[in-house]
Chains A and B, each alone.
Chain A
């Protein structure tokens, strides 16, 4: 069981900056694309603002690996469509930042399996293999891969635990302002 390890990481934003490092590297590789199963892609919400359906599906798979359903508490990333929430949050970001996000996702799709000794794309792997891919990014000797791991992980966790529905599971009673008869 792990202890808390916190302190203000201001995560999502840090991720966005980090991902820019990735963009430069991957734009040099032509022909790379995200290859999620057509059925997964077809479930993408129609009102996505910055992600394309493939990116939404891949980010969903990644988020599901980071925050699976069940375990210590029921709620997981798929239960709240975390990828769509991240999509909404990123609306209005600069083109450069969004390009960086796309590049980071490509790196997860293609780079993380390679880092873990697998030949398939991340999106086509089972959950255990996906977890091994993420662990490989974290443990990689390549700084860029570790930065992708840190950035995406922090983005997902920060966004997930900013959702009110997650708070009861961690014992947080939410903001005081706006409560009926509250101290605020």
Chain B
């Protein structure tokens, strides 16, 4: 059963065995695994329940509806727009559907440096089940649009490694609106598989419900409190309370930490809300001699991996660039300048090729929370290291080089003050790329690490079973548990660890 907040008229008080907080990549997998095993399961989701028929393909309507904080979550210095889904299915509804597993060197890095002695066979089996459920398959060459083909062409001309993603789409017609929800159910997010199957198995899912506090009871179990919230403003409308034997937090790398912090679990766990990785990304835009029409077709199918540098000594390293596009309003808002020059550039929007430079980072962010009428607000403190900035600049130079090799006449980055590059002769200017608040624009779509996993409660928040150190029955299962960045795209790693976690829960006996 799926219950939307607007259907509720009186305060809610429930009792269940397991409460799952969040219905995204982590929560959906856990809910499905438990419900199909016969465990009484309730899922709560702060965002709304949207189906294909609700997806209007309009940025101005869908971004506020589907994204955390209506898309306005920023790092405290204003440099990085931190994007997270917040709806039934979470980020799996608004992501690019790329299915990138955690690279082996990252696992080895976690084993050597973070004490995660992971059973690789167990992880491989978990990932195989996730792939099967999502229907993961390679993107067919016929579905690579011009915007993505430009990246492949540039890489090929330079002799650089490049490739095409695997994805969880089926019967995609290439409308191009993946980032604001698929109107055709072609993107197989958790909203279309794990969650409905969990419901079929008996789980109840409440949407428009925000959890704010988890209190361990003396005799075992938890009292969990929160509110039903109004769709849109998310102001509280009714009290919501659950008594549960087990609680699984899967509210994302910002809000799982917020709930633990508000519940007082931070006082004895120094690692809570620390070690945050944002994996910031910077836009790269090129003007091509022909129509590209970046907004049509699968938005992201191609990547250049020549500069991936993943090692057991560091985990994810190097940088990569991946083609991408958003809608016209987003393109316009990100375009440098104003006035007639901006209009002129928009008049040539069809010729624009777009990519994101992704630069893996060391976990160096922290979260601090305040609670207001619309829920938790996170203060995301994040400082880019000098080493990271150096890699960013090298990456910008490489991405521009690829675009010029593919025939671009001009390349720009996400900055209002960096003059466009007109030819390969300009490339070294990228090595001086300035980073200034307000006029340099980063985004993060892969926030991770606020409740990192590890064997030692002094340096981590959850143990190797995903259970909070010292609190039997309280789990965290989302991107917050990764000690460092798990992959260049986080849906598959989160689902893999969620599948692993739920099997371990069941192995313990209910």
Contacts and interface: CB of A to CB of B under 8 A. Distances in A.
B412 A2 contact: yes
Q: Interface range on chain B: under 10, 10 to 19, 20 to 34, or 35 or more?
A: 35 or more
B232 to A, nearest CB: 7
Contact of B356 (A7, A11, A70, A161): A7
Q: Which of A5, A16, A139 has the most CB of B within 10 A?
A: A5
A135 to B, nearest CB: 8
Contact of B283 (A7, A11, A184): A7
A171 interface: yes
A78 to B, nearest CB: 13
A158 B329 contact: yes
A162 interface: yes
A124 to B, nearest CB: 19
B274 interface: no
B354 interface: yes
B348 A1 contact: yes
A94 to B, nearest CB: 7
A184 B345 contact: no
A8 B330 contact: yes
B81 A94 contact: no
B3 interface: no
Interface residues of A, number: 61
B332 A158 contact: yes
B82 to A, nearest CB: 10
A6 interface: yes
Interface stretch (B16-24, B67-75, B106-114): B67-75
A5 B340 contact: no
A26 interface: no
Interface in A89-112: 89, 92, 94
Interface in B166-224: 173, 175, 177, 179, 183-184
Contacts of B331: 4, 6-7, 161
A71 B340 contact: yes
Nearest to B436: A146
Interface string A1-43: 1111111111111111110010000000000000000000000
Contacts of B385: none
B341 A2 contact: yes
Given A2-B412, A7-B334, A161 B346 contact: yes
B345 A9 contact: no
B71 A13 contact: yes
Contacts of B427: none
Contacts of B420: 2-3
Contact of B72 (A10, A143, A148, A166): A10
Nearest to B416: A138
A2 B335 contact: yes
Contacts of B443: 7-9
A13 to B, nearest CB: 3
B342 A157 contact: yes
A3 B344 CA distance: 9
Give the top 4 A-B pairs by smallest Cβ distance, nearest first. Answer: A146-B438, A4-B352, A13-B72, A10-B71
